[in-house]
Chains A and B, each alone.
Chain A
């Protein structure tokens, strides 16, 4: 016997709403052009010991300090843009 799913009155979670909107209307553009999401800086004044701990942990994991911080924030539910989770350190060619 087929399982017939009841309609729900519950509001979808954020993740569900994003998935549904993406699947139902894949051609819709983002509200802000991607170009408008410019990079900028975030300066933090931290204790030296904190910076040393971040540096050591990042080195141990093979990450940049920015990656380490952004990954932790993403894991905590902060909407970190995917490109901020990548290692984008400029490297010399050859």
Chain B
């Protein structure tokens, strides 16, 4: 089943927030989600274990590239979607996660450094895909967007670099920041609409399966240390 890796060699563009939004929203739809936290800070796994309040999904914290590779291998067959959150610097675990991915999502803020590092990440993913002789689509997700000339300029820069950008973007909303403490995935208002649009666009690209009938048991989250 699809392995979606969320990567960027720059810290702070919202990789973990996007991973939270996707894992929580897809689990709520009844999909069997496995979340792999390859960031040594373990922010995603900690959130999943301590704060998250939605439908259950499995999460593992594993930053070692060898164990991560085996973990992706072993979990992919039993999950509807595997979401891999990676660390915000160029590292081997992220490279392995991109090589094993069916798609790579690269969140980026509007600043020059974010766009530059997003491009580097995508070029690396393209090289890994060539070496693996696979098509691993990539796309940039603009995050914390304010409807300003800066955001339009960033979008233009991405286009000029020949990179794929999702039409959906995530706005600079308090709801996303609160998520790390509240453990609740926004379902209403602008945030809810943006998350719905993000899922729809990823499905349109074939990156995510459609919701299924089998629903997870609610509330209690199962956290596993990587074996």
Chain A residues packing against B (C-beta within 8 Å)? 5, 7-18, 20-25, 28-32, 36, 77, 79
Contact = CB atoms under 8 A, between A and B. Distances in A.
B87 A13 contact: no
Contact of B63 (A5, A16, A25, A31): A31
Contacts of B94: 28, 31
20 contacts: A11-B3, A11-B76, A11-B100, A12-B99, A12-B100, A14-B73, A16-B99, A17-B99, A17-B132, A18-B66, A20-B131, A21-B99, A21-B128, A23-B131, A28-B94, A31-B40, A31-B63, A31-B91, A31-B93, A32-B64
B69 A17 contact: yes
A8 B95 contact: no
B92 A28 contact: yes
B178 interface: no
B67 A79 contact: yes
B214 interface: no
Of A21, A24, A29, which is in contact with the most chain B CB atoms at under 10 Å from its CB?
A21
A14 B66 CA distance: 8
Given A8-B133, A14-B73, A79-B70, A28 B91 contact: yes
B104 interface: no
Interface residues of B, number: 34
Contacts of B69: 14-15, 17-18
A21 B92 CA distance: 7
B38 interface: yes
Given A28-B92, A79-B67, A20 B135 contact: no
SS of A interface (majority):
loop
B124 interface: yes
Nearest to A27: B90
B152 interface: no
B73 A13 contact: yes
A31 B37 CA distance: 12
Contact of A30 (B70, B72, B91): B91
A24 B11 CA distance: 22
Of B92, B102, B133, B134, which is in contact with the most chain A CB atoms at under 10 Å from its CB?
B92
B134 A12 contact: yes
Contacts of B127: 24-25
Contact of A25 (B40, B76, B124, B133): B124
Given A20-B128, A25-B90, A79-B67, A9 B135 contact: yes
> When A and B form their complex, which 8 residue pairs have the shortest distance between CB atoms, in order from nearest?
A14-B69, A21-B95, A31-B93, A31-B63, A31-B91, A17-B99, A14-B73, A14-B70
Interface string B106-148: 0000000000000000001001100111110000000000000
B102 A17 contact: no
B96 A17 contact: yes
Contacts of B124: 24-25
Contacts of A79: 64, 66-67, 70
